[in-house]
Structure 1
Amino acid sequence: MENINKNRLFIASCVALLVTAMTFAIRARLETVFGPEGVGLTLEQIGWAFTPAFWGFTLAMIIGGPLVDSLGIKKITWIAFITHAIGIVWTILARDQTSLFLATLFVGIGNGMVEASLNPMIASMYPKNKTKMLNRFHVWFPGGIVVGSIVGWFVMDVMGLSWQIMVGTLFIPLLVYGFMFFGQKFPVTERVKMGVSTGNMWKSVTKPLFLFMVLCMLLTAATELGTNQRIESLLKENVTAPLLVLAFINGIMATGRAFAGQVAHRLKPEGMLLFSAVFAFLGLWLLTLTSGSMTFLAAAIFAVGITFFWPTMLSFVAEYIPESGALGLSIMGGAGMLSVSIVLPIMGNILDNASANEALKIMSVLPAILIVLFIGLNVYMRKRKPKNVEA
């Protein structure tokens, strides 16, 4: 990869993912701003207003994924920058459910384009260390949620400033990653580098193993992001500052992903996924039984569970089905976000009409199903020789 500054591109990618993650945390704080005690929307209405963050993400990935090979990583990355900027401005101007919906749509498209372009770029730049580097890249998703949670808490709860100023802080990392990407040469995707035809790429995403992983992605993403996105409503009766619990969860996730290489070497991707499902189930179930300081213990167990879900699902596909290329990674990410767009209004309805504990119990069913599925995956993978397992 001559004349490609891999280190600068990787750091810029991490900052771009930081923006994506901060939007999740700040949006979680906006739930109380636009909710019954603020603008007056019901929690179900807010759920619908927030859904474009996820299906907009899905749309961007499904459209952007195949285009990454033809248009190039660079152009898709700049589309992410532009739509991020539009979404942030529109969020600041939002006043009702419709304007919040449209603002969230542009943010979601920007987030999706970030993942559509940068996941395959990192897989291409580090072909021998996909699991490790994709986990290191995705450190900045929980890391960004920590930053966004603390920023939201500090700006609004400590400083007493407006929510518009809180949203405006997103411009800082946005401009940083725009500057770092400016004028850089980008690599081609791994599928292009391997010389895999477009026909074979599309054929690869119809393989039973790939379809199975898409099914699992629906459940892993809903478990992780559905819970984290509604943390304010789920835990407001248990602790005084739910956003600090969100920061705590994501601090653990960021630390775990930073050291994912050693874990991947010991467990392999399929082993990491089974380990994650067990802890995610235990954590969610314990959250229904605890309050006060003990909530943090349950949250820590949940955090250990969801730490490796997203990046390891992607690295599994990148390692075992590399011919799927950017399309495969985009379908996986898109499926994950689509599932969250479905689960958020459902959770909102439960929260409006029942209780937070009921919502947590229902969510715990998802990792319980995953435990069974990932046991089956481990058995299957032991019977086949992996194409390329990397630490």
Structure 2
Amino acid sequence: MTDRTINRHRLFYVGNLAIFMIGLGFAVRANIAPNLQTEIYDKLSPTNSVAMIGEALGITFTGFALTLLFGSALVELVGMKRMLLCSAVGYIAGALGLMVATTITPGPLAESLVLSSLLLTGLGWGAVEAATNPMVAALYPEEKAHRMNILHAWWPAGIVIGGLLGVLINTAGMPWQVNMFTLLIPALILMWLVASSAFPETERVARGISYPDMLMELIKRPLFWVFWACMFLTAASELAPGQWVNITLSNTVGMQGILLLVYVSALMFVMRHFAGSVVARISSMGLMVVSCVAASIGLYLLSLANSPAMAFGAATIWGIGVCYLWPTMLAITAERFPRGGALAMGLMGFAGGMSIQFLLPAMGAIFDAAKAEAAGGVTKLPALSDEEMLEVLRYASVESFQVVAVLPLLLLPVFGIIWFCDHRQ
């Protein structure tokens, strides 16, 4: 770095904390989803409550995607510092808004508050990705895949801590709203660290590449848009099941689904630190092929799991499969399209976020339809005994979860062909 005021190790820690914060937020949303459904959406529409909570969770990904789309294009103008400060504000405001929503009578106002609060956290999430990904690419241009995977290892670390805190809060009998307080601490620390740090220019600016040149890099490179389309499916294979696990698998495996998410996240945290050595052996594209195979097998086995042992075994395969998908896709983009700058990585994140926005409500609708089918009709649901309702929920959980198992398989021909062509070259 030419600017000696830039402390790249400090900034890397700042990026890790920011990614940790958004991982923590992901776990908090998974923790409170059943509570939001029970206390707000069941009272608004008992027959469509799961689809409604899916839409509510999905709006977080909409905010995430939109911030990445526009924020990545403007990060050089706005600055990484302001972008990260905005992310901290979004998480603080979103957490406080959710707490207020749970104190008022369920109705349109409470629903609007939930949606707006989740949107704010989504905007904060997108701001983190828009700033940290190009920041790390600029700080460590010689080892992008390795550093990008370490950076995003702090996402599952946040999920582990958030998930365990959620279990502790639930076990101790504390109000579930306490989950929201856990978001405030890292957000406030991040705000202080960012305000007292100097940030680098992005690679595009440092290389003197103009905005028109950046746009032409993406327009003239059709392979970028192939990867962009693939990002819809790689993100859906990881994020949608992770956000859905506490609602569905808790009904089928005899334990809190959030514990599975914690376990998989701990596995991902460890494995992402070894991404550099894995890529050196089989290349980035080879890693994507292996990951897609394992992800599909793991997701299918998760949908069939009916005991804690089966669930942990399936979750291990799924976790190994999805571990490297998101950060390696970003690293591939930075390596193959460096002139695309922050916009290229932002567009990849936009694709990932929008895929979840579409998939979560679809999973919710499948769940509600399967629930009604298993009960013999919507009107018969209120008359079911507890045991009958449990069986209905198990059936609906399996149906909604299996929809994502096929997604990684669709990517195998694409990644396989690119991997083969890379080897020939």
Question: How far did residue 182 of structure 1 move?
Answer: 2.1
- Within 2, Cα distance between the matches of 1:266 and 1:123? 22
Aligned residue among 306, 326, 329 for 1:291 = 306
Kindly indicate whether the alpha-carbon contact (under 8 Å) linking 2:91 and 2:183 is maintained by their aligned counterparts in 1: no
For residues 315 and 18 of structure 1, do their structure 2 counterparts lie closer, same or farther at Cα, with a shift above 3 Å needed? same
Q: In the TM superposition, what is the alpha-carbon distance from 1:38 to its structure 2 partner?
A: 6.4
Residue matched to 1:352: 368
1:230 is paired with a residue of what secondary structure?
Answer: helix
1:340 counterpart = 2:356: yes
Q: Deviations over 1:239-265 (max 9, x none)?
A: 311110110111111111011111111
Equivalent pair of 2:305/2:314 in contact (CA under 8 Å): yes
Long gaps (5+) in structure 1: 385-391
* 2:328 is the counterpart of 1:312: yes
What residue identity is the alignment partner of 1:268?
A: S
Question: d(CA) in 2 for partners of 1:73 and 1:180?
Answer: 13
- Judge conservation of contact 2:67–2:130 (CA < 8 Å) in 1: yes
2: CA distance between counterparts of 1:239 and 1:316? 39
In the TM superposition, what is the alpha-carbon distance from 1:290 to its structure 2 partner? 2.2
The aligned residue for residue 421 of structure 2 is: 380
Per-residue deviation, residues 116-154 of structure 1 (Å, max 9, x unmatched): 011000000000010000000000111111111111111
Q: 1:98 aligns with which of 86, 95, 112?
A: 112
Structure 1: which amino acid aligns with 2:71?
G
Select 1:50's aligned residue among 57, 62, 71.
57
Q: For residue 14 of structure 2, what is the aligned residue in structure 1?
A: 12
Retained in 2: the 8 A contact 1:32–1:38? no
Aligned length: 383
Structure 2 residue runs without a partner (length 5+): 103-109, 371-395
- Identify the residue that residue 380 of structure 2 maps to in structure 1: none
Q: Which residue, out of 153, 159, 176, partners 1:139?
A: 153
Deviation at 1:80, TM superposition (A): 1.4
Structure 1 position 265 matched with structure 2 position 272: no
Distance 1:240 1:55 in 2: 30
Deviation at 1:319, TM superposition (A): 0.4
| Stretch of structure 1 that moved more, 308-317 or 7-16 | 7-16
- Give the structure 1 partner of residue 268 of structure 2: 253
Alignment-derived partner of residue 29 in structure 2: 27
In structure 2, C-alpha distance between the alignment counterparts of 1:307 and 1:85, rounded to whole Å = 28
> Of 307, 310, 316, which residue of structure 2 is paired with 1:300?
316
CA shift for structure 1 position 52: 1.7
**What does 1:192-203 align with in structure 2 at a 5 Å threshold?**
192-203=205-216
* 1:181 paired residue among 185, 188, 194: 194
Does residue 81 of structure 2 align to residue 74 of structure 1?
yes
| TM-score normalised according to structure 2 size | 0.88
Report deviation, 1:383. Answer: 4.1
Describe the superposition over 1:170-212 as per-residue Cα deviations: whole angstroms up to 9, x where unpaired.
Answer: 1111122222222211000011111111111111222211100
CA contact (8 A) 1:124 1:189 kept: yes
1:280 is aligned to 295
**Secondary structure of 1:162's aligned partner:** coil
Give the Cα–Cα distance (whole angstroms) in 1 for the partners of residues 422 and 61 of structure 2: 31
Moved more, 265-274 or 339-348: 265-274
The 2-side partners of 1:188 and 1:124 are apart by 7
Q: Which residue of 1 aligns with 2:67?
A: 60
SS at match of 1:35: helix
The Cα of 1:380 is off from its aligned counterpart by 2.9
Matches within 5 A, 1:116-195: 116-155=130-169, 157-195=170-208
- 1:379 CA drift (Å): 2.0
Higher-Rg member (1/2) = 2
Q: Residues of 1 paired with 2:261 and 2:280: CA distance?
A: 29
C-alpha contact 1:204 1:210 (8 A) present in aligned 2: no
Distance 1:338 1:39, change over 3 A: closer
**TM-score of the aligned structures, taking structure 1 as reference length:** 0.95
Distance 1:235 1:10 in 2: 35
CA distance in 1, matches of 2:11, 2:255: 40
Assess if the C-alpha contact under 8 Å between 1:83 and 1:109 holds in 2: yes
Is contact 1:13–1:177 with CA below 8 Å preserved after alignment? no
Q: Which amino acid aligns with 1:22?
A: L
Q: Give SS of 2:117's match.
A: helix
Tell me the secondary structure at the aligned position of residue 209 of structure 2: coil
Q: Is the 8 A contact 1:239 1:295 kept in 2?
A: no
Greater displacement, 226-235 / 301-310: 226-235
Shift in Å at residue 382 of structure 1? 2.7
Q: Which amino acid is 1:28 matched to?
A: A
- Cα distance in structure 1, aligned partners of 2:293 and 2:367: 25
8 A contact 1:233–1:351 mirrored in 2? no
Deviation at 1:71, TM superposition (A): 2.3
Counterpart residue identity of residue 81, structure 1? A
Q: Distance in 1 between matches of 2:96 and 2:334?
A: 35
Q: Is the 8 A contact 2:85 2:195 kept in 1?
A: no
Q: 4+ residue runs of structure 1 moved beyond 3 angstroms?
A: 36-39
